Amino acid sequence: MPRRPTSDEATRAARFFLESFIVKTDSQDHILPKNDTFSPFSGFCRVFPQFAKKKDGGSATDGVSRAAFNKICLEYFEEGMRKPARNGNPGALEANLAQQRRHFLRGRWRDPAYPEDLAALTQLWSSMVAEQVAASAALLEDFSRWKPGPAGRGGERQSRKRGSDGEGDSDDNASECGEARREGSEQGAGGVSPARKRVCGAW
């Protein structure tokens, strides 16, 4: 039996979901799991199950499959391997979310706690049926717990660190040398360790 093609309505619903509930950002610390509980497709199934493929958790025979949905996601976000920081995940979340795996990059869920997001959501919800409003509000409440923190490999914090290594080392050395000089003036040169002399050089 031939496979039923994805309906145009289901494809439009997928794009509507991505554009409405996820914000594109410039931060590499904002990442979205590709296939986990907190993935965009998982959220899509919760809000619009009638447009998601039955075999992938939805209720439609002509709905969007997980693979097709993730392909649409790539029109909005880049994809990469990331390992979210463990301290970014509350203990109630699944432990394996801190493992390195594929994520969509530079995207975050809208958060009703942010005034700008709340304003956008309020306008959006006014055009949705009550069932979808309740489902999406519950989704965002649950998914707002997914705060991965620094995005691991390639994350913003690591980039900043790499870009300022020399500056950071210089500041650390300056602090250490200042302390060593004070020791030297109080105790004489013999009171300062050879290792610290090598770091600071002659003074």
| 143-170 pLDDT, tens digit each | 877 666 555 444 433 333 334 444 444 4
pLDDT for 91-102, tens place per residue? Answer: 334 555 556 788
pLDDT of residue 138: 95
114 or 193, higher pLDDT: 114
CA distance 37 to 11: 21
pLDDT of residue 169: 44
Provide the percentage of residues in the chain whose pLDDT is more than 90.
45
pLDDT of residue 148: 60
- Collapsed DSSP state (helix, strand, coil) of residue 83: coil
pLDDT of residue 27: 87
- Mean pLDDT, rounded, for 188-192: 48
Alpha carbon of residue 55 to chain centroid: 27
Q: Looking at the predicted structure, is the pLDDT value of residue 40 above 90?
A: yes
Q: Which pTM value belongs to this model?
A: 0.67
Among all chains, which residue has been given the structure tokens 């199934």? Answer: 45
Nearest to 143 by CA among 38, 31, 45, 34: 38
Q: Looking at the predicted structure, is the pLDDT value of residue 71 above 60?
A: yes
83 — pLDDT class (breaks 50, 70, 90):
confident
Provide the percentage of residues in the chain whose pLDDT is more than 70.
62
Strands (E) across the chain are located at: 22-24, 31-33, 78-82, 101-105, 107-109
pLDDT of residue 171: 44
Identity of the residue numbered 163? G
pLDDT of residue 18: 97
61 — pLDDT class (breaks 50, 70, 90):
confident
